[in-house]
């Protein structure tokens, strides 16, 4: 690694040593107290790299201002990364491994578990020959999503503070809670933050810029059955477990996560619990086009109505809860964030793709609340599991993209 990459990596290693797994079942904010603790740790470091007005608010968001070092006109730019990691896989005792100067072959993650990365299965490794690759040891996720984003933003602030000859306007940073649950950013005070536009540093592959995203709702189906002794159940029993299985199997197979790609939407049934008296079926609805999104929800409601007729002895209820909506149209109406970003990408010779994320970011919700916030690649791949990896070459590109945005915003 060169010195810049080493600084970012050293921060990253410190950050991932702290378990900040979020909990979607929690009723508190943030959903885990470790996020608050980590926020206070970051707030102290922010003061050492040049941020002023550093604050951890009541919800755990940590924010700060890197003051302008020029009198020239410039917008207030925000950079965001989230502190929490997903609960889908172990986020404790993370031990990053460095695979220096990647040669294009197979990478051993854990020989005992026969865990490897190769360009045959991870095609983007072919783009990283000569880079230092960071992986897990096979026993945890890596938390590149999104602690490498935090490390990059923090290192940028330190660099700009140490190089006052680089003129920039006011830069705000925010490290956020509960991004992985999709709930944390609803508590963020955008007006108080005071940015004109912002960027989440929370994408993956080099050159991928998320300027659109899924429309997203959760769906919950409550099934109340009728139970009795199975020996005398004919014409009486309504089995919630069987009904839930019937609902899942009746959803079209071409509208599932494993059968869709690009801008194709899906419904994912992801949790089921219950017994002979009642069952609870939970899922998510995703679609980029809002009209198609509403059609998906209508199809689900029609499916439930069919099952009500099929199982008249049962009570079946369906409930949708809004998560986030597509930010694409708002970014087109207020283009300054994207114009600066595309200029920075060209300046740094990054071939880029404007993508519609098959997921959501904090930026999507902030955009819809009035703060245009596209998502920039952070340099990780395969998040949320033990095969996650980071290219430090990609991370360095991210750093320079942010630096160019800061410089080029000065009029």
**Contacts for 224-228: CB closer than 8 Å, 24+ residues apart:** 224/277, 224/278, 224/314, 224/315, 224/316, 225/276, 225/277, 225/278, 225/279, 225/313, 225/314, 226/313, 226/314, 227/276, 227/277
What was the pLDDT predicted at 357?
79
pTM, two decimals, is 0.82
CATH topology of domain 3-213+326-408: Aminopeptidase (3.40.630)
- pLDDT tens string 173-206: 999 999 999 889 999 999 999 999 999 999 899 9
CATH topology of domain 215-323: Alpha-Beta Plaits (3.30.70)
- pLDDT tens string 225-254: 999 889 988 999 999 999 999 999 999 999
Q: What percent of the chain has pLDDT over 70?
A: 100
- pLDDT tens string 32-55: 999 999 999 999 999 999 999 999
Among this protein's residues, is 179 annotated catalytic?
A: yes
DSSP for 43-85, please give it: HHHHHHTT-EEEEE-TTS-EEEEE--S-SS----EEEEEE--B
What is the Cα–Cα distance from 36 to 55, expressed in whole angstroms?
A: 12
**Whether residue 363 has pLDDT greater than 80:** yes
Active-site choice (84, 178, 202, 396):
84
Active-site choice (19, 131, 178, 179):
179
**Range(s) of the chain covered by CATH 3.40.630.10:** 3-213+326-408
**Whether residue 361 has pLDDT greater than 90:** no
Token pair of 355 as six digits: 């993508």
**Range(s) of the chain covered by CATH 3.30.70.360:** 215-323
What was the pLDDT predicted at 353?
93
Please return the burial class of 58, using the count of CB atoms within 10 Å of its CB with bins 0-12, 13-18 and 19+. Answer: exposed
Residue 244: asked if its preceding bond is cis (omega within 30°), the reply is no
DSSP for 294-363, please give it: HHHHHHHHHHHHHHHHH-TTSEEEEEEEEEE---HHHHHHSTHHHHHHHHHHHHTT---EEEEESS--HH
CA atoms within 13 A on the CB side of 80: 31
């Amino acid at each position: 690694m060169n010195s810049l990459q080493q600084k970012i990596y050293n921060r990253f290693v410190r950050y991932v040593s702290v378990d900040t797994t979020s909990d979607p079942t929690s009723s508190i904010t943030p959903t885990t107290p470790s996020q608050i603790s980590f926020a206070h740790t970051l707030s102290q470091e922010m003061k050492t790299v040049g941020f002023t007005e550093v604050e951890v608010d009541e919800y755990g968001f940590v924010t700060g201002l890197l003051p302008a070092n020029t009198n020239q006109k410039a917008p207030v730019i925000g950079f965001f990364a989230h502190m929490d990691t997903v609960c889908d896989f172990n986020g404790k005792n993370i031990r990053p491994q460095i695979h220096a100067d990647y040669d294009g072959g197979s990478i051993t993650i854990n020989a005992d578990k026969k865990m490897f990365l190769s360009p045959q299965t991870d095609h983007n490794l072919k783009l990283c020959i000569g880079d230092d690759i960071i992986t897990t040891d096979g026993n945890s996720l890596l938390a590149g999503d999104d602690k490498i984003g935090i490390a990059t933003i923090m290192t940028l602030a330190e660099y700009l503070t140490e190089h006052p000859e680089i003129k920039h306007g006011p830069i705000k940073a925010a490290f956020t809670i509960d991004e992985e649950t999709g709930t944390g950013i609803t508590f963020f005070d955008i007006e108080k933050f005071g940015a004109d536009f912002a960027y989440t540093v929370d994408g993956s592959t080099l050159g991928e810029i998320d300027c659109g995203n899924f429309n997203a709702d959760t769906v919950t189906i409550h099934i109340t059955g009728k139970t009795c002794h199975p020996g005398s159940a004919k014409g009486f029993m309504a089995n919630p477990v069987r009904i839930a299985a019937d609902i899942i199997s009746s959803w079209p197979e071409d509208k599932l996560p494993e059968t869709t790609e690009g801008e194709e939407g899906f419904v994912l049934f992801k949790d089921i619990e219950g017994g002979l008296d009642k069952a609870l079926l939970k899922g998510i609805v995703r679609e980029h086009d809002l009209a198609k999104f509403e059609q998906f929800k209508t199809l689900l409601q029609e499916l439930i109505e069919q099952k009500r007729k099929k199982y008249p002895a049962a009570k079946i209820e369906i409930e949708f809860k809004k998560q986030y909506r597509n930010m694409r149209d708002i970014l087109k109406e207020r283009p300054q964030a994207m114009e600066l970003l595309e200029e920075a990408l060209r300046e740094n010779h990054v071939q880029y793709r404007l993508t519609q994320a098959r997921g959501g970011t904090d930026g999507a919700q902030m955009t819809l609340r009035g703060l245009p916030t596209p998502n920039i690649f952070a340099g990780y791949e395969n998040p949320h599991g033990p095969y996650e990896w980071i290219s430090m070459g990609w991370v360095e590109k991210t750093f320079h993209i942010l630096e160019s945005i800061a410089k080029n915003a000065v009029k």
